[in-house]
Structure 1
């Protein structure tokens, strides 16, 4: 997302361990017992791929996906192709990322049956409002080269949210979108939307990671049976997350990396996460989080890392 990316990637490489070899041999999905979930039912317990969560409309969504923020051009297309080949089925993009065309090309290049993929995009602020939202959605479909989206989110609670939601509800009822949701909505903004929504949001994609655990949002979303999704599961490495002493010790304990520990922490809380990388080794590494379990001591230690403040103040 910013100039720190290269430093973060270098720090992360130092923690890359044997997970790549393990993943290359096949992703082992032994669950060691099912974790406490965010509030939705986790399915696919056997080793068939990434486990799913069941959204409030019954749609199954992979609990681990591939994010594309900051990826563009050939790098984006190549990374998405590699992610799909590695086993990811949830692919997250957005109009404002400027890479929907490349994501669409990668989906086509992958050769994977469209029905096996879960594709998410987002309505940007410039397209807020009833008519604009419908046009924005059609532009997104055209760029992606798809006939429908699995999930479409209002990217930010700005502008005519009510008009946007009405348009999205109509697109949902028409079968053009399998699930609709929101992103970066606070509990107060969610409450306002629920006051007029005919269709409850299925997902709220927000900033959440070890340094900003969003406990109140977590509880509110769980209460409303709305799936929490993390757009920055690593905080982009800000505040030294990849070299954090607590995470490092937990990683050593399990023979994993700090990145894998971070993703496992989200998984055990029932939170969907969408890590992003342009490095094939990291793309594969991020999948290898289902063959170990964080114990109560690990979870409590990570809980204490919460600074209860955003690591992206420039977006506030």
Structure 2
């Protein structure tokens, strides 16, 4: 029994270390790709000076953030102010644990893996609320209020889309959902749940505060939203957390709808990364293509379109299974 516990603990520690390295590497890669992608869409080179084609620019920016002074605004609640970025970033490490990146590349095998991800992802909303409220800045507080309203709204259709897949597969285990899908695209869940896939993807933009739904960070009217007063690694943790949550939602979408690590020729982590990064590039492409919507439009998209469609999709799925 003791040997089993020690083995499980060692496996979990190795998984957490690998996840931390994976999150850091993803942040560097995605920042570079986003800047380059934005540059090409806008007919400019993007970062070009530091390293070949600016490849070292994200690393230099990270070092610059770590070297800056940590400042607490006058009148702010210093404990909650600095707790917020930590609370936004730390739960990310648990979100990656139940995701099967390959046949044997799962940090922590769980029967309720999807439930763990949905539960701990909610901590980000609490972190954004603390960041805006504790900084004693009215623009930060308005940004936090927007963030909470947006997160609460878009969690509901996303949850309903996930439930439809759970109804079909009969499990909340991400590894089992992957194995129930075939190797070829017509054997993936997206074929029988195309509406659920679209709802999940649109909700993912809202959950991760990505354009055109990045209202909590509306620079034109709110300076920088909930992280107006943050500098140095306080801002850096929020920045890394945003990209980490992007990777999480794209990874979950890959498992639920795109066959996970399964591919036409040989199953493995390379298929998982290819599908996940294809979705990430789609999120980047949308950011630099579509303008930011108004806040009333943001909520109307959810309450008038996504929620009714997600409810209809769930009921239709339940009826199909019953018949």
Normalising to structure 1: TM-score of the pair? 0.29
Q: Which has the larger radius of gyration?
A: 2
Normalising to structure 2: TM-score of the pair? 0.28
Relative to its length, the structure with more strand (as a share) is 1
